[in-house]
Structure 1
Amino acid sequence: MGIIYALLSALSYGTADFLGGFSSRKNSALLVVALSQAMGLVTALVAVYFLRPESLLPSDLLWGIAAGIAGASGVGLLYHGLATGFASIVSPTAAVVGAALPVLFGLIAGERPPLMTWAGVAVAIPAILLLSWEKGEKRDHILRSLELGVLSGIAFSGFFIFIARTGEGSGMAPLLAARGITVPLFFTIALVKKQKLIPRKGTLVTILAGGCLDMLANVFYLLSTRTGFLIIAVILTSLYPAPTVFLQRFFIKEKLSAVRLAGLALAIAGAALIGIGG
């Protein structure tokens, strides 16, 4: 079940990213993030109702809060990097670092997946890189873009690791704690920047749907870590750019580059090998 949950997480994250990107075409990214985070909080409340804690410990909530801070930091650094640097460097760097560090953590923690699973991981990591790759023309500020990508990836890996440290008996309460930190944070930033929180006509539904799917992705990821290896959960979840690419091609007719097509092929192969090994 861990593999299925991880793939559902990737699908949900990828769809949420597509909806968020689509909404950001008519609204500021900060408005989209703030409103989607609020919808995520509502979704977390529903998740807690259906997956209630059985033995919630203070440490579970603390890990959830730490995960929330790490995730919010990752989003902030990523958006700053995309705004001031080059997406062709920031995005794939953040994606690969965000996946690689939890894999290393899983190894240190003693996880030993089967050999076939490792073959899948070896294929999936370059797939993450290729799926996230954006063509760029300019080459100045490369080091700054790389730095922000690495920092963002470290923050995202913190979310993946911290939330996985919560106990199975805590249910979905850690995710509620995580989102309980990020929602006030993003709304405070929006107020400080005097950002109007009224979306353009026709975009509210896509923003809220994206926020709901983003939290569902977190739920599936957490379930995956509790029913299988952290290494598998992180790698398969990190293939979330694949559904985003498919949706962009289908709905907005975005042309797929040879690099992204290669990434899709590797992603499918990697997921298949992990499924066989798992």
Structure 2
Amino acid sequence: MLTVILGLSGALVFGSGDFLGGMASKRMGAFLATGIAGIVGLFVLVGLTFVIPGQISSGTIWWGLLSGVAGALAILLLYAALAIGPMSILSPLGALISAIFPVIWAIVVSHETLAWFGYLALGLGAIAIVLVAFTPEKNAVKPRLRGIIFASVSGLLIGVFLIIMDQVPADSGLYPLVYNRFVNIGIMFSAVAIMALLRWAHRKGLFGRDGTARADLAVGDAGSVDFKNGILFALGCGVLDSIGNALLLLGIQSGNLSVMSVLTAMYPAGTIILAAIVLREKITKLQLVGMVLALAAAGLLALS
């Protein structure tokens, strides 16, 4: 039961953080917004270590740093996939793979077992992920091979992140996430610096339009940058993302990796709910069905 509560709570927090992260990215560029959110999250996680203490060991440091690499690369590829589009296909594809891969790992490698209805719940959860994340676009185009590859690899890397979190020592507390943030921040701001350099080079006539497009993703378009509101959204994103990661790690430590991976992949529900409340975006019937299936899956997992 505790694992289910932590998993669903983490998914809602992650989804809310993604909503704020998306709002920040529109105003100041995706990579810069993510980097600022990472710094804020680092301070939040350091503060949480006083509430949830742990032991720092070589395993804590190693798995924390490795998870930072996997997490940062997953985010970079996810942004690249969504930029290629269509989001309505690539987003649920990545979420589904991020859930299925850890489940296969947990059952085949870690030999986790569930009651028969637990496996039924995992299947319902997978369907719920697709329905919740699926938002049909008008005149949606067929996904390009590069977009499918980026989304798939991103989902795999998110799954790898979950598997790594399952390897951290039980007494490490939240310290692995602190080391995760150091790596994540380093990679993100390195990307921002590289993209800004490419943009500068383009202005000097050294590169083509591709450099400009990628630079805008990193630092925003000078004509639409709104750093004041962007920073506020990024701050909120950093707080929620760090709390979501803390709930994720605690959930994995208290229960099964397979259960947490499926529950955490339901994060689009949090984004959709906030978008409906704040931006008054319409929730489709398919998404409502997906949310009902998600709750049913969570109930079955709690009983298993």
Question: 2:184 maps to which residue?
Answer: 182
- The SS at the match of 1:193 is helix
User: Is structure 2 residue 162 aligned with structure 1 residue 160?
Assistant: yes
Q: Report deviation, 1:41.
A: 1.1
The 10-residue stretch of structure 1 (130-139 or 176-185) with the greater mean CA deviation from structure 2: 130-139
Q: Report deviation, 1:207.
A: 1.3
Question: 1:267 maps to which residue?
Answer: 294
User: 2:24 touches 2:234 (CA, 8 Å); kept in 1?
Assistant: yes
Question: 2:206 maps to which residue?
Answer: none
Question: 2:5 maps to which residue?
Answer: 4
CA distance in 1, matches of 2:152, 2:99: 11
- For 1:95-174, what aligned pairs fall within 5 Å after superposition? 95-108=95-108, 109-136=110-137, 137-174=139-176
CA distance in 2, matches of 1:236, 1:138: 28
Q: Report deviation, 1:28.
A: 1.4
User: Is structure 2 residue 256 aligned with structure 1 residue 254?
Assistant: no
User: 2:31 touches 2:219 (CA, 8 Å); kept in 1?
Assistant: no
State the TM-score, normalized to the length of structure 1: 0.93
User: 1:89 touches 1:145 (CA, 8 Å); kept in 2?
Assistant: no
- The SS at the match of 1:255 is coil
The 10-residue stretch of structure 1 (242-251 or 73-82) with the greater mean CA deviation from structure 2: 242-251
State the TM-score, normalized to the length of structure 2: 0.86
Number of residue pairs matched by the alignment: 276
Question: 1:193 maps to which residue?
Answer: 195
Question: 2:64 maps to which residue?
Answer: 64
- The SS at the match of 2:54 is coil
CA distance in 1, matches of 2:134, 2:29: 23
User: 2:11 touches 2:267 (CA, 8 Å); kept in 1?
Assistant: yes
- The CA deviation string for residues 77-122 of structure 1, in whole angstroms up to 9 with x for no partner, is 0100111232122211110000101001110201112222222211
CA distance in 2, matches of 1:141, 1:22: 25
CA distance in 1, matches of 2:167, 2:74: 19
Q: Report deviation, 1:210.
A: 0.9
- The SS at the match of 1:168 is coil
Which segments of 5 or more consecutive residues in structure 2 lack a partner in the other structure? 197-217
The 10-residue stretch of structure 1 (190-199 or 246-255) with the greater mean CA deviation from structure 2: 190-199
CA distance in 2, matches of 1:43, 1:236: 23
Q: Which has the larger radius of gyration?
A: 2
Which of 224, 229, 236 aligns to 1:209? It is 236
Question: 1:73 maps to which residue?
Answer: 73
Question: 1:233 maps to which residue?
Answer: 260
User: 1:242 touches 1:267 (CA, 8 Å); kept in 2?
Assistant: no
Which segments of 5 or more consecutive residues in structure 1 lack a partner in the other structure? none
CA distance in 2, matches of 1:68, 1:89: 27
The code of the aligned residue for 2:82 comes to L
- The SS at the match of 2:259 is helix
CA distance in 2, matches of 1:70, 1:180: 13
Percent identical:
28
Question: 2:249 maps to which residue?
Answer: 222
- The CA deviation string for residues 3-26 of structure 1, in whole angstroms up to 9 with x for no partner, is 211122111101101111122232
- The CA deviation string for residues 47-86 of structure 1, in whole angstroms up to 9 with x for no partner, is 22222223x3212211111111111111000100111232
